[in-house]
């Protein structure tokens, strides 16, 4: 049955239109994902569908008796306990437990953190009887287990689902239709995220082909118009008007006119010492025992490499952000030591980001308090997808994703060589995420990321630290996918690491830290070698990284040679064809050899 039908709906901001004549039908059983760049109207569309905002133009029809359950970014909740806000019975308790709130049933909503309130609001929306479930960024503040549970719940839900999310795994596993919002228009794609990418690429290719046709037609029409004034007087007026329109028309430009360039300035070089944690214990005041410190981390050893790519994962509340705060020097340990290298310039992009006064404008943020903003600040912001209207609009009018991007710009402007990112994917659109991933892939500094976004972690980190919730932290080589595979094979619930090489404390039998390569006393350990004289996990990571860079260079050379080969073929240059062909064969053989070496290193790393 049809639950909601939108016909020619339009909405706008004071500075630009959001939705222009958008029509959409949502029927029972459909799973619809809404995507688009930040500020394009995704949340507005959800609120119109839910009936929280009336359309400026157009109509919204809802099925008779249709029940709608909404999770919006505000997440308004009654001033009750967490359990009472969700409902009564075992279902409410089970949902809160699966979302990491099993110990907070009796906590007042107003005493919860922002992330905890968002999870309470999600449980409330999921358990509210409904024919249509509308979710705005439901994976924000969820850990990996929580996201997997949410995916299963959405698959079991019998009604319709309409959701906005940046999580590409959720889009691909849950949705069967994608609605893309682009400059007011809505494009509907059948299938999940992968199908949407294919359809979008084809639509963009068709736009390019259509523009080529228009240009060719414009040339002929322009020549026709220029055949002299006497002849033009005898030309049909309708033909003249059509020709003029063809010549003057232009294909719509890209939604964002420039490529996002996150390389603000050169990254200062790091020394051999970056940040080291030596037998660190850290925690917070224990509310149940005034004057006592509840340890969140205990006995943690960690040494960051100059080219570190490290992810931190664990259940909500296990201590991931605490570990970042200790690395950043925001939280002093109650025991142990934190050593920071003299060349370190730290950039910390946390879940709240740099505090932004809603009355300020982005140009004010960039200019700083010491001077008045000018055209150069506007030009600078344009590199980061802030058009003129957004650059001079109050920060309070920006979307959540736009504010998040502005906070990222402010962080990178500090020219850090060590980046600590706490849930960086929250509120960013998919295009920005892909650019951020590309930037981090080639960024020359050290990177530590707390994230629940599986696709983001797979692209940006090579190792993960599992914070187990029992004050322990264990380093695991191979990244998130390797750890998930190990956990599935061991059938161990939660985030407890599989038994075997390392225990829950992250220590080997000799007392050496798996995370840092330091002995339990904090002194440098001997060079790390795996049993049997094999290279250590750290050495293998470096070799894999170097091999991947070598492959990327060879691939660029191969592409350049292929382009030269095509040019030589078009010019019928036999000598050049022979010379380039020989070079291409050598590069291809080199790629094959390096790929074989990469496979051997990868197998050796996995067997370790």
Q: Are 42 and 163 in contact (CB under 8 A)?
A: no
What pLDDT score does 23 carry? 94
What was the pLDDT predicted at 581? Answer: 75
pTM: 0.65
Mean pLDDT of 339-359: 82
For the segment 173-213, what is each residue's pLDDT rounded down to a tens digit? 899 999 999 888 898 888 888 888 887 777 777 666 666 66
Inform me whether the pLDDT recorded for 508 exceeds 50. Answer: no
Q: Name the band, by pLDDT with cuts 50, 70 and 90, for residue 522.
A: very low
Banded model confidence at residue 516, pLDDT cuts 50, 70, 90 = very low
- The pLDDT value recorded for residue 183 is 82
Instruction: Collect all residues with Cβ–Cβ distance below 8 Å to 294 and sequence separation of at least 6.
Output: 283, 284, 285, 286
pLDDT (0 to 100) of residue 266: 77
Q: Please list, residue by residue across 37-47, b when 16 or more beta carbons sit within 10 angstroms of its beta carbon and e when fewer do.
A: bbbbbbbbbbb
* H/E element, 402: helix 400-412
Q: Region 299-316: what's the mean pLDDT?
A: 91
538-607 folds as: Methane Monooxygenase Hydroxylase; Chain G, domain 1 (1.20.58)
pLDDT band at 496 (very low <50, low <70, confident <90, very high): very low
Q: Which helix (H) or strand (E) holds 279?
A: strand 275-285
**Average pLDDT estimate for 400-424:** 85
Mean pLDDT of 105-126: 88
Using N-to-C axis directions, what is the helix angle for 193-225 and 237-248, rounded to 10°? 130
pLDDT digits (tens, 9 = 90+) for 226-256: 665 555 455 565 655 665 665 555 555 554 5
Residue 536 has pLDDT above 50, yes or no: yes
Mean pLDDT of 546-555: 80
Residue 254 vs residues 147, 208, 259: alpha-carbon distances, Å = 33, 11, 10
CA distances from 594 to 293, 458, 544, 584, 603 (A): 52, 22, 10, 15, 14
Find the range with the poorest average confidence among 130-144, 198-212, 432-446. Answer: 198-212
Quote the pLDDT of residue 178.
93
In CATH, what class is 275-344+417-422+449-526? alpha beta
Look at residue 523 in the predicted model and tell me its pLDDT.
Answer: 36
| pLDDT single digits (tens) 379-399 | 878 877 787 888 888 888 887
Model confidence band, residue 502 (pLDDT cutoffs 50, 70, 90)? very low
pLDDT at 45: 94
Same fold, 275-344+417-422+449-526 and 538-607: no
Q: Give the pLDDT band (50/70/90) at residue 539.
A: confident
pLDDT confidence of residue 503: 31
Band of the pLDDT at 418, cuts 50, 70, 90? very high
Closest CA to 305 of 75, 506, 463: 463
Return the higher-pLDDT residue of 520 and 450.
Answer: 450
Helix extents (H) in 249-374: 320-328, 362-367
The pLDDT of residue 509 is above 60? no
Beta bridge partner(s), residue 340: 275
Euclidean distance between CA atoms 142 and 151, whole angstroms: 12
Rounded CA-CA distance 426/445 in Å is 22
Superfamily of domain 2-196: P-loop containing nucleotide triphosphate hydrolases (3.40.50.300)
Per-residue pLDDT at 608:
58
Ordered by start, the domain boundaries in the chain are: 2-196, 197-248, 275-344+417-422+449-526, 538-607
pLDDT in tens, 250-301: 555 554 555 566 776 678 888 889 999 999 999 888 767 777 888 899 999 9
* Cβ–Cβ under 8 Å, residues 313 and 320: yes
* Averaged pLDDT for residues 303-319: 89
Calculate the CA 541 to chain-centre distance.
24
Token representation of residue 219:
């040339």
pLDDT at 346: 93
Q: Which residue did the predictor score with more confidence, 195 or 325?
A: 325
Mean per-residue pLDDT over the chain, rounded: 79
């Amino acid at each position: 049955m049809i639950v909601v039908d939108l016909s020619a709906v339009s909405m706008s901001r004071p500075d630009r239109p959001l939705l222009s004549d958008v029509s959409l039908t949502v029927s029972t059983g459909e799973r619809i994902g809404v995507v688009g760049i930040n500020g394009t109207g995704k949340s507005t569309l959800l609120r119109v569908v839910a009936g929280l905002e009336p359309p400026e133009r157009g109509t919204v029809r809802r099925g008779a008796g249709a029940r709608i359950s909404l999770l919006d970014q505000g997440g308004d909740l009654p001033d009750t306990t967490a359990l009472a806000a969700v409902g009564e019975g075992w279902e409410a308790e089970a949902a809160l437990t699966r979302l990491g709130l099993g110990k907070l049933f009796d906590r007042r909503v107003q005493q919860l953190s922002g992330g905890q309130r968002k999870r309470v609001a999600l449980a409330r929306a999921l358990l509210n009887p409904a024919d249509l479930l509308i979710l705005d960024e439901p994976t924000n503040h969820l850990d990996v287990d929580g996201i997997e549970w949410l995916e299963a719940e959405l698959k079991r839900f019998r009604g319709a689902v309409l959701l906005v999310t940046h999580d590409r795994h959720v889009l691909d596993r849950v949705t069967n239709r994608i609605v893309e919002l682009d400059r007011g228009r809505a494009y509907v794609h059948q299938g999940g995220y992968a199908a949407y990418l294919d359809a979008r690429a084809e639509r963009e290719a068709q736009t390019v082909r259509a523009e080529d046709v228009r240009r060719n037609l414009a040339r002929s029409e322009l020549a026709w118009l220029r055949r002299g004034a006497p002849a033009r007087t005898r030309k049909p007026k309708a033909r003249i008007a059509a020709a003029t329109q063809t010549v003057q028309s232009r294909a719509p430009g890209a939604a964002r006119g420039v490529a996002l360039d996150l390389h603000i300035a050169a990254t200062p070089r790091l020394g051999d010492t970056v940040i080291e944690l030596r037998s660190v214990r850290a925690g917070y005041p224990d509310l149940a025992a005034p004057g006592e410190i509840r340890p969140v981390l205990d006995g943690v050893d960690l040494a960051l490499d100059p080219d570190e790519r490290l992810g931190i994962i664990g259940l909500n509340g296990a201590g991931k952000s605490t570990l970042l705060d200790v690395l950043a020097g925001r939280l002093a340990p109650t025991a142990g030591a934190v050593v920071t290298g003299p060349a370190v310039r730290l950039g910390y992009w946390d879940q709240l980001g740099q505090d932004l006064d809603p009355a300020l404008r982005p140009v004010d943020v960039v200019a700083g308090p010491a001077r008045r903003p000018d055209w150069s600040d506007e030009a600078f912001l344009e590199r980061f997808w802030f058009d003129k209207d957004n650059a001079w609009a109050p920060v309070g009018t920006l979307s959540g994703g736009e504010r998040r991007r502005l906070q990222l710009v402010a962080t990178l402007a500090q020219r850090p060589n060590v980046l600590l990112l706490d849930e960086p994917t929250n509120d960013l659109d998919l295009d920005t995420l892909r650019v951020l991933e590309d930037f981090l892939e080639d960024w020359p500094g050290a990177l530590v990321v707390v994230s629940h976004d599986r696709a983001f972690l797979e692209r940006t980190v090579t190792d993960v630290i599992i914070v187990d919730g029992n004050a322990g932290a264990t380093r695991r080589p191979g990244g998130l996918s390797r750890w998930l595979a190990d956990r599935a094979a061991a059938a161990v619930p939660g985030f407890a690491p599989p038994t075997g090489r390392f225990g829950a404390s992250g220590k080997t039998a000799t007392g050496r830290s798996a995370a840092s390569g330091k002995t339990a006393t904090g002194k440098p350990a001997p060079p790390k070698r795996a049993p049997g004289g094999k290279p250590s996990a750290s050495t293998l990571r470096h070799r894999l990284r170097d091999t991947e860079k070598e492959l990327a260079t060879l691939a660029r050379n191969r592409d350049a040679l292929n382009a030269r080969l095509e040019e030589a073929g078009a010019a019928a240059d036999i000598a050049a064809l022979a010379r380039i062909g020989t070079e291409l064969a050598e590069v291809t053989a080199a790629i094959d050899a390096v790929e074989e070496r990469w496979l051997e290193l990868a197998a050796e790393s996995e067997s370790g």
